[in-house]
Structure 1
Amino acid sequence: MAPSLLALCAAVAGASAIQIPFFSQAPLDVANEPKLLVDSAALQDLISGDRLLARAKKLYEVAKLGEHEYNHPTRVIGSAGHAGTLSYIYESILELGDYYDISNQSFPAVSGQVFEYKLVLGDTVSKSAAPMGLTPATKGKEPVYGDLVFVQNEGCSASDFPDSVAGNIAFIKRGTCPFGTKSEHAGQKGAVAAIVYNYETDPVQGTLGTPSPNHVATFGLSGEEPSPILEQFSKNHSVDAIAYIDAEVSEIQTANIIAQTSAGDPANCVMLGAHSDSVAEGPGINDDGSGTISLLEVATQLTKFAVNNCVRFAWWAGEEEGLLGSDYYVDSLSPAENRRIRLFMDYDMMASPNFAYQIYNATNAANPLGSEQVRDLYIAWYEAAGLNYTFIPFDGRSDYDGFIRAGIPGGGIATGAEGIKSKDEAAMFGGEAGEWYDPCYHQLCDDVGNLNETAWIVNTKLIAHSVATYARSFKGFPERITRVAATASVYEEETKYHGNKLFI
């Protein structure tokens, strides 16, 4: 085992000295003989469904390392399953010889786990209530009792909270400021818990973000449940509640893995990434094992070619906890290193079983110059292949977010998560209208059987095309420019997500 890999395992496994098995395959011939310049068609031809599936089976075995602590396979950060994932990625790149310079970037991450919860509104147990990500537990990890206290405006200012919230449960409308801000204000005014209710029927799968000592146990509430409560308030009637959350928020060490070609112009880097972690609830073989494996396979086959521009692959940790790894990476870049990245492409969930071929609708009007060119590259490839595609919002749901905020052009593709496939999309892509794109999204059943091989092969070929195109040349692609404040503000105003959960 290489010394750097030993350090990586120590960082992610901690003092418990978890023994991580390694999953070797025969090293490829990556000798330094002259290679032809990378060609998109030739690189795509090397993508094999059998190889992708074989890697998926290995990754599921890695996820089983999490069974001891979680009683089921998982690759959540801090688990043995995630430590094993990092080891598998690292060793896979090491086997490719000196084609890549590989490094790991260890960083502190916040991990949250909810063990049990219940919310009773009046005499009814809530069906839609869900704890916010990174919520603390209720006091003593016991139920707390109180009246619901209506909070004026959206709880974005401490003055919105009446003194009567002390010892009671704050009832706060979802709005324009972070959920963490609302929870913090509630705690500062002495609330024993907080509920953020949605003005829409959609679920509030939110996160409080960076922990604060003033955060209180916080639920999201959606559907029709807020309406009768608001009606009672309008009649000056009180509503009592019982809130209970058993949760744990802790700081751990985890790591990003970065592999950059040793050849190619280092001042003009093609960068692409996928996240290495899953949620605690399951093994995450589609989310985002599929993207992780697609990048590994493209990185493996790229070693058979020469490149003009450097190619930088990244596997981010902590995406499911709120884009922690990619944010940490981008924030650590010097201005000069930032400018070396010509673009970033995000590949999260490539093989959803009820898939649609989705392209992030990144425009130059709302994002750094060059984002639209990345989007158009995907469009042209799908059209040339005779495949349908659809656009999805470029709204901060995945690891491109930090890059866009830092002025780096970005884009990406996906196949869908918990969204509902429409009738038109079923006609375009097949599958079941009215069902989630991935019925096993963030669940235990996100295993090897949850992968659509057809979609996975198609999208891995498209990833290969994106790498080959920009590894050859940036001809016609906009030069990097200093971020324009107005452009950044347009993106930030439209961004409601930070990772898979809402943060406002």
Structure 2
Amino acid sequence: MVGPSRLSLIATIAAVSAQLQRPLVSPSEDVLGTDRSAQTGNKPLIDTELLQAHISVESLFERAEALYGHAKSSEEQFGHPTRVIGSEGHRRTLEYIASEIDGLGEYYKSWTQPFPAVMGQVFQYRLVLGQSVPESATPMSLTPPTAGKEPVYGDLVLVNNQGCDASDYPEDVSDKIAFIERGTCAFGTKSELAGKAGAIAAVIFNSNAGGLSGTLGAPSPDHIATFGLSGKDAEPVIEKLKAGNAVDSIVFIDSVVDTINTTNLIAQTVGGDQENCVMLGAHSDSVGEGPGINDDGSGSLTLLEVATHLTKFSVNNCVRFAWWAGEEEGLLGSDYYVATLPEDENKKIRLFMDYDMMGSPNFAYQIYNATNAVNPTGSEQLRDIYVDWYQSKGLNYTFIPFDGRSDYDGFIRNGIPGGGIATGAEGIKTREEQLMFGGKAGDWYDPCYHQLCDDVANVNATAWLINTQLVAHSVAIFAASFEGFPGREITKAAGVYEQDTLYHGRYLVR
């Protein structure tokens, strides 16, 4: 129950629209009436083994059942369980997390960070190229609908080069359908330029045989209805166009792109050095297609479980937990958070740890391959903590690219060391990984990734428990001491982060 002396986070979530007019309150202030002088009492100093011992798989799955119940509250609106931003399921997810944190008493100070978020939903679509209906055709995320949300008809026009300059679009593309090769610039730029050239729709085809699922990113009034298409399906069409043959086409997308109000949730220990914080986060939302119990209910609930048991200990350094909204729409919440941090608040975050998808059913123990040569100094030391822990348990692990696909991205880009672990999404498990981790080679790590079947039964209990213990370890290490860990520098990330990455969130952007 929420104490009478505290402003309930639940009330602030219910009034997010009004809260958007309120500036973000600095975590160094008394944001919810919490007495900054409150002591954690005579509690033992944080100990990694003791904290890990409190983690139980039973408690994790009790939380998962509760989360799925919240996802089901969206059934009237969406026809199935989901926790996508703007849904009743996401609102109740935020209320659940806030209520659990409030119930931990004065150990944490907590606040919301409301922000406007762009979300899109595609209801129906169809693409016909000549006489064929390509199976690989996929509407781009955040695509606008075709005119009047009705089918549009026109010949395909092959755009020159890769469609990154206005001069690449022939005059005869007006009132026709632009056919554009992937490459160099963002998908949103291609759609925008095609729209400015007068095209009624656009199809962006892959530069290799594979399919193409991406996002147009921030909406533009010049964006037009846009599909992604595999290189395999595009090849015969390109041959016809280059031979001078017309390819008449039909494009239909019924979609909506809206700006809504949502919020990040943040909780920080009252105890510990407030100038030196270890921060960790997970995203509170799912895609519209399903309840998202692994992606990323597993990460959100792992944070909640660790935050709960951390209250049994005192800490030397502050610990800050974050539940981001809008990750599935393109890392919106975490990007907003980092972009609005004053420099002095940025420096207080010694490192950020991202926990997205902790229990994939066909899992591999994956560590982001963050190095100091490419990322802010300290990222490599964090990576090695995960390596050392897996090795100490006799567990195999593998490295995965640190490529902008989750909420660490904004932190790295703004000079904050980062890293994290995962268990795999739509990637294919190799035979070598089958020998290392079990499971089935040739299948996705999560066969229910971004689908309706991402429910409670989709989370692997072994992987989820092991990784929650590792998250507890990562918190305990830095909550006790930053000795030997590099000091903070306000510098932008080097290497690959000097240029745009291929991903920003789960979707390709170029």
TM-score (norm. length: structure 2): 0.94
Q: CA deviation at 1:13?
A: 11
Equivalent runs, 1:126-275 vs 2, <5 Å: 126-275=134-283
Question: Against the structure 1 CA distance between its residues 338 and 150, is the aligned structure 2 distance closer, same or farther, given a 3 Å change threshold?
Answer: same
Name the residue aligned to 2:376. Answer: 368
Distance in 1 of aligned mates of 2:377 and 2:55: 31
Question: Is the Cα–Cα contact under 8 Å of residues 118 and 126 in structure 1 kept in the other structure?
Answer: no
Distance in 1 of aligned mates of 2:274 and 2:15: 30
Question: Paired residue for 2:506, among 493, 500, 503?
Answer: 500
The answer to whether 1:11 aligns with 2:19 is no
- For structure 1, the residue ranges without an aligned partner over 5 or more in a row are 15-29
Question: Paired residue for 1:56, among 64, 69, 73?
Answer: 64
Number of corresponding residues: 487
Name the residue aligned to 1:99. Answer: 107
Name the residue aligned to 2:76. Answer: 68
Letter in 2 for 1:329: Y
Distance in 2 of aligned mates of 1:3 and 1:292: 20
Question: Paired residue for 2:431, among 407, 417, 423?
Answer: 423
Equivalent runs, 1:346-425 vs 2, <5 Å: 346-425=354-433
Q: Match of 2:119, SS?
A: strand
- Residue by residue over 1:474-502, the C-alpha shift from the partner in whole angstroms, topping out at 9 and shown as x without a partner, is 11111111315xx4352243611111000
Distance in 1 of aligned mates of 2:481 and 2:415: 21
- Residue by residue over 1:281-318, the C-alpha shift from the partner in whole angstroms, topping out at 9 and shown as x without a partner, is 00000000000000000000000001111100000000
Distance in 2 of aligned mates of 1:153 and 1:181: 14
Q: CA deviation at 1:126?
A: 1.4
Question: Is the Cα–Cα contact under 8 Å of residues 415 and 437 in structure 1 kept in the other structure?
Answer: yes
Question: Against the structure 1 CA distance between its residues 502 and 492, is the aligned structure 2 distance closer, same or farther, given a 3 Å change threshold?
Answer: farther
Q: CA deviation at 1:3?
A: 4.2
Name the residue aligned to 2:308. Answer: 300
Distance in 2 of aligned mates of 1:492 and 1:292: 30
Percent identity, please: 64
Q: Match of 1:211, SS?
A: coil
Question: Is the Cα–Cα contact under 8 Å of residues 395 and 494 in structure 1 kept in the other structure?
Answer: no
Question: Is the Cα–Cα contact under 8 Å of residues 110 and 266 in structure 2 kept in the other structure?
Answer: yes
Question: Paired residue for 1:314, among 322, 329, 332?
Answer: 322
Question: Is the Cα–Cα contact under 8 Å of residues 128 and 223 in structure 1 kept in the other structure?
Answer: no
Distance in 1 of aligned mates of 2:17 and 2:294: 22
The answer to whether 1:453 aligns with 2:461 is yes
Distance in 1 of aligned mates of 2:157 and 2:307: 55
Question: Is the Cα–Cα contact under 8 Å of residues 204 and 226 in structure 2 kept in the other structure?
Answer: yes
Q: Match of 1:288, SS?
A: helix
Letter in 1 for 2:296: D
Name the residue aligned to 2:496. Answer: 490
TM-score (norm. length: structure 1): 0.95
Q: CA deviation at 1:7?
A: 2.2
Q: Match of 1:51, SS?
A: helix
Distance in 1 of aligned mates of 2:52 and 2:17: 34
Q: Which moved more, 1:156-165 or 1:386-395?
A: 156-165
The answer to whether 1:432 aligns with 2:440 is yes
Name the residue aligned to 1:286. Answer: 294
Equivalent runs, 1:39-54 vs 2, <5 Å: 39-54=47-62
- For structure 2, the residue ranges without an aligned partner over 5 or more in a row are 20-37
Q: Match of 1:299, SS?
A: helix
Q: Match of 1:145, SS?
A: strand
Letter in 2 for 1:9: A
Letter in 2 for 1:297: E
Letter in 2 for 1:497: Y
- Residue by residue over 1:184-240, the C-alpha shift from the partner in whole angstroms, topping out at 9 and shown as x without a partner, is 000001000011110123321101111010000000001510111111122122212
Question: Is the Cα–Cα contact under 8 Å of residues 440 and 446 in structure 1 kept in the other structure?
Answer: yes
Q: Match of 1:419, SS?
A: coil
Letter in 2 for 1:219: F
Name the residue aligned to 2:352. Answer: 344
Letter in 2 for 1:207: T
Q: Match of 2:494, SS?
A: helix
Name the residue aligned to 1:18. Answer: none
RMSD (Å) for aligned C-alpha atoms: 1.5
